[in-house]
Amino acid sequence: MGTAVPNRFRRPYGPGWALVGDSGYLKDFVTAQGIQDAFRDAELCAHALDLTFTGHRAFDDAMREYQETRDTKVMPMYESTAELATLDPPTPEMAWLLEAVSHSVPAMDGFARVAAGVTSPAEFFSPEYLGQVLVPATAD
């Protein structure tokens, strides 16, 4: 069930500090992506800090890139989660699509990858991807 958490992004760095995971951006818990977000952000943040500590980039530049990369990577799941957390019934188009997915093993596998945070909702719901996995069944 959705928890009506106030979804928001925070600037994930400042002088002497950095944020990862839920402390840097928060979305409803309904999609259970928190640990995935924390690991991804920690890796991106560590890379930015490494660039700073080794003298390759200024702190603000490296951390701004960390923030931009994080925001780009999470936005599709963030938007999908916000929509799902409303607990509204799916639109007729989404209901049709989910029904179609239930009849295709590759599509079901792809949808499970979205739920696991491995595949971006934007990638899964793209016409190109769905065109590959929702191949009409042929009569035997």
Residue ranges in the chain whose pLDDT is less than 70: 1-4, 135-140
What's the pLDDT score for residue 139?
Answer: 42
Torsion sign (Cα): 54, 14, 72, 88:
positive
The CA distance from 107 to 124, in Å, is: 9
First-to-last C-alpha distance (Å) of the chain: 41
> Exposed, middle or buried, 79 (CB in 10 Å: 0-12/13-18/19+)?
middle
Q: 3.40.47.10, 3.40.309.10, 3.40.50.2000, 3.50.50.60: which CATH number matches 8-85?
A: 3.50.50.60
pTM across the whole model: 0.81
Closest CA to 41 of 5, 77, 15, 6: 77
Return residue ranges of the chain for CATH 3.50.50.60. Answer: 8-85
Q: Measure CA 137 to chain center.
A: 31
Give the pLDDT of residue 53. Answer: 97
Whole-number percent of the chain with pLDDT over 70 = 93
So what's the pLDDT on residue 25?
Answer: 92
